[in-house]
Amino acid sequence: MNELRRGLSLACAVCGSRHLFKRFGLFDMHEKCPLCGIQFERMEGHFLGAVALNTVISAGAVLSTICLTIVIAGTDVSSKLLLLTALPMATILPVLFDPFSRTLWTAIDILIRPVEPKELNEAFQYNSSNET
Ligand SMILES: [Zn+2]
């Protein structure tokens, strides 16, 4: 589960490195981890899972916002109020959650298909085997 915690904090699920995104752009991810060398797109279409994860989380947040608005304002709430509360959640959250969805999806992928030693840098493998 350490992998999921790292994925949620924008860190590499394998080594915990936090330098996964290029300097000027939170949305431009390196192809490989600069520390351990794992390639994030481990198979073609890898990031479709991240898009699906982002869609599910964002849709859940929009639905929760609508339900919360109805609970607070009552069932005779105007559609304008529902739109005003749900629209920011529907437009801003998917953009802000995008980098998290990519690192989290990579962590989930690593839990499903564990990393093979050949996927990592030799220097990282040597250092990892000398720890503990
Ligand atoms: Zn790494």
* Mean pLDDT confidence for 58-85: 93
C-alpha of residue 78 to centroid of ligand 1, in Å: 49
C-alpha of residue 39 to centroid of ligand 1, in Å: 9
C-alpha of residue 42 to centroid of ligand 1, in Å: 13
Q: What pLDDT, on a 0 to 100 scale, did the predictor assign at position 7?
A: 93
DSSP string, 116-127: PGGGS-HHHHHH
Domain count, the chain: 1
Residue pair 3/13 in contact (Cβ under 8 Å)? The answer is: yes
Average model confidence (pLDDT) across the chain: 90
Q: How far apart are CA 43 and CA 130, in angstroms?
A: 30
C-alpha of residue 55 to centroid of ligand 1, in Å: 26
The model's pLDDT over 2-52, given as tens digits with 9 standing for 90+, comes to 899 999 999 999 999 988 888 766 778 899 999 999 999 989 999 999 999
The model's pLDDT over 105-131, given as tens digits with 9 standing for 90+, comes to 999 999 999 998 888 888 777 666 665
C-alpha of residue 32 to centroid of ligand 1, in Å: 8
Prediction pTM value? 0.83
- Radius of gyration of the chain measured on its C-alpha atoms: 19
SS3 43: coil
| Comparison of pLDDT for 62 and 131, the residue scoring more | 62
C-alpha of residue 41 to centroid of ligand 1, in Å: 13
SS3 29: strand
> In this structure, which residues have their CB less than 5 angstroms from ion ligand 1?
12, 14-15, 17, 33, 35-36
Residue pair 47/41 in contact (Cβ under 8 Å)? The answer is: yes
* Secondary structure element (H or E) that encloses residue 26, with its range: none
Domain that holds residue 92: 2-130
C-beta neighbour count of 97 within 10 angstroms: 18
